[in-house]
Amino acid sequence: MKIVVIGGTGLIGSKTVAILRQGGHEVIAGSPKNGINSITGDGLKEAMAGAHVVIDLANAPSWEDQAVLEFFQTSSHNILAAEAATGVRHHVALSIVGTDRMPDNGYFRAKVAQEKLIQAAGSPYTIIRSTQFMEFLGGIATSSTDGNIVRLSPGLFQPIASDDVAAIVADVALAAPRNGIVDIAGPERAPFNEFVARYLKAIGDPREVVSDPDARYFGGRVDEHSLVPLGEARLGRIGLDEWLRRSKAEA
């Protein structure tokens, strides 16, 4: 099967490409570096010729509200148009759990806009909504740090390892289109502040994590269930301790 992975050289993309190639599939890892650009449209139709599936893992270079919205709208429009022109049978896109529950978060608003474009396109699709990646825990802590204090909401948190995300994305791409949304999450659920405190302690970071119900997550207010699946979800297998062991071994 021929599969095109837009954003195929990124964190999730590179892992997804490797899994699919190991399965014997013909995979094109699309990125501007190899002439496949979802913003300009360059190379999209050529790459998709004869493709069965396109996986959209493109990510915006800027998280500024208007820039990220324009990125996902332009990128998705160009990808979907190229798919329609070449007869692609399954569009798979990675989004975020809770993206429709945090309207104050500009990145989440942009993902909602992307999802709406996919749903309106009329082509077979599957949207995978993922919880936050464990690889982002350090950045989340830094973005919430004031002096030596990390202020985070006690809302529930259920991060997933990128290896699990890639495995599920590859699996979904090879299955029939759902024409709907699949939620995925990590195997452990705990308050946001407790999860990050565990992470910082494990890596020997002395910062103190404080539970603050008013703490924002990249501009968005976090309620108890803002960042976790509300119903059925497909769970990854790698918990925080195992992910930390793997990360240390890779380092």
Under the banding of pLDDT at 50, 70 and 90, the label for residue 79 is very high
Model pLDDT, residue 132: 96
Under the banding of pLDDT at 50, 70 and 90, the label for residue 167 is very high
Model pLDDT, residue 249: 84
Dump pLDDT digits (tens) for 29-52: 999 999 999 999 999 999 999 999
Model pLDDT, residue 95: 97
Model pLDDT, residue 215: 92
CA distance 135 to 132: 8
Model pLDDT, residue 251: 72
Model pLDDT, residue 110: 95
Q: Which amino acid is at 144?
A: S
Model pLDDT, residue 70: 96
Is residue 245's pLDDT more than 90?
yes
Q: The domain that contains 60 carries what CATH number?
A: 3.40.50.720
Model pLDDT, residue 123: 92
CA distance 159 to 165: 10
Contact 16/55 with Cβ under 8 angstroms?
yes
What is the pLDDT averaged over residues 45-73? 94
Under the banding of pLDDT at 50, 70 and 90, the label for residue 248 is confident
Number of domains the chain is built from? 1
What is the CB neighbour count within 10 angstroms for residue 18?
Answer: 15
Q: 3-class SS at 140?
A: helix
Q: 3-class SS at 55?
A: strand
Is residue 164's pLDDT more than 90?
yes
Model pLDDT, residue 57: 97
CA distance 200 to 99: 26
CA distance 198 to 61: 30
Could you tell me the two tokens for 90? 């399954």
Is residue 250's pLDDT more than 90?
no
Per-residue DSSP letters for 6-32? Answer: ETTTSHHHHHHHHHHHHTT-EEEEE-G
Residue range of the domain that includes 141 = 2-250
CA distance 218 to 239: 24
Q: What is the pTM of this model?
A: 0.95
The mean predicted confidence, pLDDT, of the chain is 95
Contact 232/173 with Cβ under 8 angstroms?
no
Model pLDDT, residue 48: 97
What is the pLDDT averaged over residues 167-171? 98
Torsion 108-114-117-120 (CA) sign:
negative
Tally of CA atoms within 13 A in the half-sphere of 238 that contains its CB: 19
